Structure 1
């Protein structure tokens, strides 16, 4: 919804509100498109509610959400230029929550479909060329989108050293296909990404490699290089200073932004 014009967005939201009002005539219904910053905050609220941080007054965990159109990074911080406060019960937190529209994995890969380095060896590209599977070259080609176009590395807010993060959505799906969710680190992402990129596409497609074939497996060379560049070159996270866990649920409950509005309805 955030990728379309405000006029289109308002029209869609109005039609949704009208349809809901007809079905639930006694309800007070409001429909709006939330900002990326609020979406990140909602995901942070959900994760820290589920892990018990609010109940046990523990140090909270940051969250990184990689969707199709945008990506968000949200964590508790007292410094930065995009801070805002959120109340949960009788507790108040100051959050740094930043969203980058255009850096979702689907929109990002759409700009690199003819970049040979970003796809397994001999994968057929739209322009008729073949993939060459060069992880390092792919990551180098992607970094300008992250840091020159979207200026991810120039933000004034930086996570504290030894900060913990949950990485969800496309981080989880890519990690699942590459088999590193339980052992995730930037170095492991780099190693397995380099290995996947070097595979012959015919072997992957025919199930002859050690990577399970799925309809989206072709994108994992790009995805690994992109995620590594985003985390290390954009957010400037590192294995020795940050703890990143890749998951999609905690204590049997899915992590998404949708519980957030219940916890902080006034955002």
Structure 2
């Protein structure tokens, strides 16, 4: 018994100091792993928000965007969470009664109050950008344009959001921000991939924007925009054609047919059997056609359709000028355009018109697309109305013209061939967000796209925790091995005295 007591007394594992060191070591290792796991555990994300109002020529739309608050100005991905179409026409239509322009926005702004958390209202930026409709109004009547903006601003300032102002975007900005939106949503900018060109078609203007190796900006500096995004430099070609949105082009086509002031016209771009009385003053009340109004004409004319795609295409060509070009190459109206390059995304009216016509599949040969449109245009008006009972007659009547204009603009105006036409995607949304200039506009104003590529952690969260755990285990083993000199004494048999 005395030998066992002596052995126990000599066993270093039973000394208080050794036991204390072992316990502290184990606690330290457990604490190290626990802190590593908890410190790097993904948290429930908090979001920031931004609101953009797109005041177009035919209507206004509101878009709400959100992004992770903890990744502001770095890697936080911005996504569209809600959209609202304002009832009524675009704000430029309220030139004679500006207050109604501001009032028209209230329903959508109330929706925004519900979709953005109340605790984020005061810090959420609110922007309004107006495009070609207000550009035309500003040309025609700058005083009325200012009054519309004043009414809109007063209305938006009453909202709980941080209103950042309302202004007219230049055509170049509209095109460039549309290009940013398309490539941001496709993750092409962050990954440094080949970019996608942007084709935007509205009611009063159209934009084309793309990166071309053949374009350095020297031949046409006004069409050049430079971006540095995520560490990559982009020299973007972009041009906006005012008056070449589908609504204003229709006015120009009708003006071409009514230049002599007739009482009736037979229009190949409208279905056979279509007949409507239209007012000369209403037709020519746009800066795009006002100077072409015939000196002598009746108050109204009868607009009769005869439904012929090929004749319609010749009529549409009359709104383009292909005779002048002082550059090495042009699109139309003497505007420089470099060689088309890469894939393109066509959105806004491009998508809505071609989707209605079931012509968004560009894997179908271009000639087959033209033949399908020719069949549609030749369909009698009464048949068209029966096939599409839920669509307003004004819009339904214009699809033949709009489809013909789109094909003519792309092939004759922008020089897409049978081969390059197949590289166009007609898109409404990308990954849940609408294609258009609004997202690119907000990204620019909030500096959400860094000029340089953001730094990334060496290891993901799971890898980091694994490495810390392995290191902790190695330290524990080294600790045990450090006590090896004590092992022989622990394993000695007790001496019996």
TM-score category of the 2 structures, normalised to the smaller one? 0.7 to 0.9
| TM alignment of 1:13-92, pairs within 5 A | 13-23=149-159, 27=162, 29-77=164-212, 78-79=215-216, 80-81=219-220, 82-92=223-233
Residues in 2 aligned to 1:93 and 1:146: alpha-carbon distance in whole angstroms: 30
Q: Please show how residues 88-127 of structure 1 align to structure 2 within 5 Å.
A: 88-113=229-254, 114=265, 116-126=267-277, 127=301
Question: Which residue in the other structure is 2:348 paired with?
Answer: 169
Name the counterpart of 1:7: 143
1:183-198 pair list within 5 angstroms = 183=362, 186-198=366-378
Tell me how far 1:249 sits from its aligned partner. 0.8
- Alpha-carbon RMSD across the aligned residues, in angstroms, is 2.7
Instruction: Give 1:7 deviation, angstroms.
Output: 3.4
Q: Which moved more, 1:148-157 or 1:63-72?
A: 148-157
Deviation (angstroms), 1:42: 0.8
Q: Does the residue aligned with 2:237 lie in a helix, a strand or coil? A: strand
State how far apart, in whole Å, the 1-side matches of 2:304 and 2:148 are. 41
CA-CA distance at 1:65 after TM superposition: 0.6
Shift of 1:156: 2.1
Give matches, 1:149-228, under 5 Å: 152-153=331-332, 154-161=334-341, 163-183=342-362, 186-207=366-387, 214-215=391-392, 216-228=395-407
| 1:253 alignment partner in structure 2 | 433
Deviation at 1:262, TM superposition (A): 2.6
The structural deviation recorded for 1:128 is: 3.2
Higher mean C-alpha displacement, 164-173 vs 115-124: 115-124
Shift of 1:205: 1.4
Aligned length: 262
Structure 2 residue runs of 5 or longer lacking an equivalent are 1-133, 255-264, 278-300, 325-329, 448-497
Q: Distance in 2 between matches of 1:109 and 1:53?
A: 36
Alignment TM-score, normalising by the size of structure 1: 0.87
Q: How high is the TM-score relative to the length of structure 2?
A: 0.49
When residues 33 and 199 of structure 1 are mapped into structure 2, their CA distance, relative to the original with a 3 A threshold, is: same
Q: Partners in 2 of 1:55 and 1:90 — Cα distance? A: 9
1:106–1:129 CA distance, 2 compared to 1 (3 A)? closer
Change (3 A) 1:199 1:21: closer
CA contact (8 A) 2:175 2:207 kept: yes
Distance change >3 Å, CA 125–CA 16, structure 1 → 2: closer
Q: Give the equivalent residue in structure 1 for 2:413.
A: 234
